[in-house]
Amino acid sequence: MNIHTGEIQLAPYKEKYKEVIQTFTLPSEQVQFTSDPSALLEKAKSDYTKNVIVILDHNGVPVGLFALETGDRVKEFTDNEDALLLTSFSINHNRQRKGFAKKSLLLLEEFVKRYFPIKNEVVLAVNERNIPAQNLYAKVGFQDKGFRRMGPIGQQIIMHLPIMK
């Protein structure tokens, strides 16, 4: 069952979405901060801890995606054993600036409650130079609790979204 607002939906990845997702592009300034959507799909094939979530528009067409990770990698970002790690968030370039990112993240808590009922938090790492992403995550309820780590291209801010039961 998908989680939706009427305008957008969050859905677990299915093979039927692959063809559209493989056409996704990202602006050059965003490529450095996230995974290529096709690469995410490839990695998820061999890593069962990467749960790919597809963001669908009101017609059921993919406009973005991200992963909710459940494996040992989560421990690199939090001591909370009941946390999920959000990674590889992206919206297709030609669908950006239409509110899909914000609306999809506002559905995240409900999605986690449905598909990961024992989890009580979502964490993510955002590069300190990626100000637009930091602002977006803060607007939808992610909190900066002061935790930092070095990432592949610089300092990262760890942000936390509590999942209220």
Domain coverage including residue 11: 3-162
**pLDDT higher than threshold 80 for residue 153:** yes
SS3 of the chain: helix, strand, coil, percent, to 5 = 30, 35, 35
Q: What CA–CA distance (Å, rounded) separates 1 from 111? A: 10
Q: What CA–CA distance (Å, rounded) separates 157 from 165? A: 26
Domain at 49, CATH number: 3.40.630.30
Token pair for 17: 């979405």
Q: How many domains does the chain have?
A: 1
Please enumerate in sequence order all residues whose Cβ is within 8 A of that of 104, keeping only pairs 6 or more positions apart, or say none. Answer: 8, 10, 55, 64
Q: What is the pLDDT of residue 139?
A: 96
pLDDT tens for residues 101-142? 899 999 999 999 999 999 999 999 999 988 988 999 999 999
Q: What CA–CA distance (Å, rounded) separates 96 from 94? A: 6
Predicted structure pTM score: 0.88
